Structure 1
Amino acid sequence: MDNQLFEFPFKAEVWGTVSDWVMVLVTATTAWLLLRTLNEQKKFTKIELERYARENPPTFASRNDLGNSRNPPNPLKFRVILKNNGLKNLVISNDFPVGFEITHDYSNSESLIPDSQVYLTISNKTSPELKDCNGKIKFEYDDMLNNRYIQVLELKRANSLSWKPPYKISNS
């Protein structure tokens, strides 16, 4: 067997073949390193998304002043806006006195993205006036990491809203 690999001057038909194999080896090594880098970046991105979700839970907000009217309209209508992150499994409940009805336009089956709006209506079925309307509306929901939160909206005399910050009641 005649080894022509190390003959000088180099033969093109031999070194062309070695060159091809070196190129394949370099390409395969590059692909393997790129794949490792991509997998590390995916892990880092997932960690950062989870950190952002923990530090910025879904939060509802609205105007705090519903007007300075002594006799607010019956029914009272206003909107709340979702901030920071999306949510799912929203349940809206209240502890208003008997005779007050709270309705909303949220369908329990849908998830909400940031800047989504939910329209609420408070009406007094026993009186034409809302001026003595005091109560709380509770928003209970899951964030996208399946952490359960509660946020409370307090309504005072039908013209002032007070939001409590959301608090986590269970982890995923």
Structure 2
Amino acid sequence: MLGIHDPLLFLLSGLVLNMTPGPDTAYIVGRSVQMGWRGGAAAALGISTGCLVHVFASAIGLSALLMASATAFAAVKWAGAAYLVYLGFTQLFARPPAAAAEADAPAVAADASLRQVFWQGALTNVLNPKVAMFFLAFIPQFVAADAAHKP
């Protein structure tokens, strides 16, 4: 049928793993504190998009390539580290907006920053090689060996 055995156990395991705190949870909480529920929702949607990228990569075998190739793993690891350094420097050297400019166009700034929060969450998740390794180790446990369509 779907190629999944124990779908209830898979769903329960996925929920428990999503509720445990980690870097993604810290990012969502930080953005929620900084920007309110809209910022937290944008961060959660971005991280979820990053997870979907990992699910797709796992289905087509890219996660297995990362596991097998030390060079590919190192490239993703360094790209993720460079992105985190970039985010750190942009936060460190960002200037707060002037009160007058903020009063004139608050809606435009909020939309732009929500878009940024979404993409930052997605990139932070996609460039985390530990997430790829997790999907490589977790998802195959629930794929039926005799399934016609494993992806």
TM category (shorter chain) comes to under 0.3
For normalisation by structure 1, the TM-score amounts to: 0.20
Question: Which has a greater percent of strand?
Answer: 1
Larger C-alpha radius of gyration, 1 or 2? 1
For normalisation by structure 2, the TM-score amounts to: 0.21
